């Protein structure tokens, strides 16, 4: 028996040597993927910066930016894909590295209570800390930063011309950026005659440092800031960011914890806490609910959401019920019927909300802003177009009865930004 065990041991040892030699041969012929250092050379790389809101822990670091509190060993990344432990420090891999830059109508965000009809300069990096099944920008939100192209085209200026018949028209001047610093973003926004900057498309929480520095400089230069977010952020980071934001648009994806976990990979309670925090900080907040057929489109869903917004954020909070179109992992579901959106709006208004909108349904009367007292339309919209705006000439008041409509309706001078955040954590 001993001889058999000895022979078996020798055979296993020989097999181990053979496997090691075979592996070495394969590696020499087919080298592994490039290392992080090759993908992101640290020297003179503007995309890598030390992140904020983290602490060392157990031979790694813990990120405190969002409720996930990711623990990252050396070389580990958070679920967002863009924050990494490198050399015992948390690094952001997307600083000054946008992957999508456009000039949009502000109504596209959608934001309806800030300077209707103006342009908003919109930027996004790769990454997101949620996993929404119907994400319309999944190509960038679920991507790694190293998958981004080497350069990103971006509008950098606006050229105005006059046609032979006397009409004025403009065209944006495009420029390619290998790195787009906060100053570059602000200069481009000013150059395109945008009135504000939006941090949007993917999830601006995960490029917090880039957003914060850009928003701070934007405020110094007289530009307004809009964060378009799912609201998955901790109170501490939000508290430092809030004074720089003129509007925060939060996607409240549903009003059921089970739905949030299955649809977005997150927890509803954290988003509700963000909304309450924004209320405490006095930030104008607009709430959007994407209505997905069979998943969050029951009348009781609309009622629970509306009652919560009314009781916690106030009756003047703008709320959108937006139309779903088949996308990403939910291409098996139909487009939301317009009748469902109308029902949602009716329920919300019955529960006392004063500014309830229908999104992604051009021509619906729910696109307009109405006076809550006399019920006359004050801002009439068709898609992203403004057909009539009675609020800007009247300093945000209804011209018929003087009712003050919450929002920013005139391009007034801004207060200087608060003192910049100190430290990196």
pLDDT in tens, the chain (425 residues): 667 667 667 776 777 667 666 655 655 555 544 445 555 555 678 899 999 999 999 999 999 999 999 999 999 999 999 999 999 999 999 999 999 999 999 999 999 999 999 999 999 999 999 999 999 999 999 999 999 999 999 999 998 888 788 787 789 999 999 999 999 999 999 999 999 999 999 999 999 999 999 999 999 999 999 999 999 999 999 999 999 999 999 999 999 999 999 999 999 999 999 999 999 999 999 999 999 999 999 999 999 999 999 999 999 999 999 999 999 999 999 999 999 999 999 999 999 999 999 999 999 999 999 999 999 999 999 999 999 999 999 999 999 999 999 999 999 888 888 876 443 43
Residue 85 and residue 187 share a domain: no
Residue 221 and residue 116 share a domain: yes
Give the pair of three-digit tokens for residue 323.
């139309």
C-beta separation of 371 from 403 below 8 A: yes
Residue 243 and residue 323 share a domain: yes
Q: Give the count of alpha carbons within 13 A of 417, CB side only.
A: 23
* CATH number of the domain residue 193 falls in: 3.20.20.70
d(CA 384, CA 285): 20
Residue 263 and residue 361 share a domain: yes
**Confidence (pLDDT) at 421:** 47
The DSSP element (H or E) to which 3 belongs, if any, is: helix 2-29
Place of tokens 């910066």: 49
**Confidence (pLDDT) at 19:** 66
Partners of 191 in beta bridges: none
DSSP 215: H
Q: Which of 201, 305, 207 is nearest to 260 (CA)?
A: 305
Structural domain range at position 72: 43-92
Residue 365 and residue 309 share a domain: yes
DSSP 73: E
**Confidence (pLDDT) at 419:** 75
Residue 186 and residue 87 share a domain: no
**Confidence (pLDDT) at 39:** 56
- What angle, rounded to 10 degrees, do the helices at 338-350 and 299-312 form? 40
Q: Does the residue 238 lie in any domain? A: yes
Q: Does the residue 167 lie in any domain? A: no
C-beta separation of 379 from 391 below 8 A: yes
Give the burial string for 323-333 (b: 16+ CB within 10 Å, else e): bbeeeeebeeb
Residue 115 and residue 50 share a domain: no
Peptide bond preceding 39 in cis form (omega within 30 of 0): no
Residue 139 and residue 47 share a domain: no
Residue 145 and residue 234 share a domain: yes
**Confidence (pLDDT) at 422:** 43
Residue 272 in 3-state DSSP?
helix
Give the pair of three-digit tokens for residue 361.
């349904």
C-beta separation of 302 from 344 below 8 A: yes
**How many structural domains is the chain composed of?**
2
The DSSP element (H or E) to which 240 belongs, if any, is: helix 235-241
Q: Which of 311, 232, 227, 238 is nearest to 281 (CA)?
A: 238
Q: Does the residue 24 lie in any domain? A: no
Residue 222 and residue 265 share a domain: yes
Q: Does the residue 416 lie in any domain? A: no
């Amino acid at each position: 028996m001993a001889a058999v065990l000895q022979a078996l041991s020798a055979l296993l040892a020989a097999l181990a040597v053979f496997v090691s030699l075979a592996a070495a041969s394969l590696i020499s012929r087919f080298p592994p993927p490039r290392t992080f250092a090759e993908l992101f050379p640290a020297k003179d790389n503007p995309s890598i910066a030390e992140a904020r809101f983290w602490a060392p822990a157990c031979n790694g670091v813990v990120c405190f930016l969002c409720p996930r509190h990711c623990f990252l060993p050396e070389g580990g990344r958070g679920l967002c894909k863009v924050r990494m432990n490198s050399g015992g420090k948390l690094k952001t891999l997307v600083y000054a590295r946008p992957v999508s830059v456009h000039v949009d109508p502000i109504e596209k965000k959608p934001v309806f209570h800030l300077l209707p009809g103006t342009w908003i300069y919109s930027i996004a990096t790769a990454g997101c800390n949620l996993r929404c099944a119907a994400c319309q920008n999944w190509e960038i939100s679920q991507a790694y930063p190293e998958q981004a192209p080497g350069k990103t085209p971006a509008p950098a200026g606006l050229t105005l011309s006059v046609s032979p018949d006397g009409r004025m028209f403009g065209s944006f001047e495009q420029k390619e950026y290998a790195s787009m610093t906060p100053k570059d973003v602000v200069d481009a926004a000013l150059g395109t005659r945008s009135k504000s900057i939006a941090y949007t498309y993917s999830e601006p929480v995960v490029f917090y440092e880039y957003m914060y520095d850009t928003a701070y400089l934007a405020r110094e230069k007289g530009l307004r800031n809009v964060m378009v977010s799912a609201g998955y952020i901790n109170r501490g980071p939000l508290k430092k960011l809030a004074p720089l934001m003129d509007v925060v648009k939060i996607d409240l994806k549903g009003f059921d914890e089970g739905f949030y976990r299955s649809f977005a990979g997150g927890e509803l309670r954290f988003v509700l806490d963000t909304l309450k925090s924004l209320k405490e900080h006095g930030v104008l907040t607009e709430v959007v609910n994407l209505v997905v057929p069979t998943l969050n489109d029951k009348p009781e869903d609309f009622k629970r959401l509306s009652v919560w917004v009314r009781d916690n954020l106030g009756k003047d909070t703008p709320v959108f019920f937006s139309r779903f179109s088949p996308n990403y992992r939910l291409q098996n579901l139909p487009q939301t019927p317009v009748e469902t959106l109308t029902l949602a709006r009716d329920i919300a208004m019955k529960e006392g909300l004063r500014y309830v909108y229908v999104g992604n349904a051009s021509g619906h009367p729910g696109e307009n802003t109405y006076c809550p007292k006399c019920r006359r339309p004050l801002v009439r919209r068709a898609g992203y177009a403004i057909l009539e705006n009675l609020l800007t000439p009247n300093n945000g008041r209804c011209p018929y009865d003087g009712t003050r409509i919450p929002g920013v309706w005139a391009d007034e001078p801004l207060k200087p930004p608060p003192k910049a955040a100190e430290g990196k954590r």
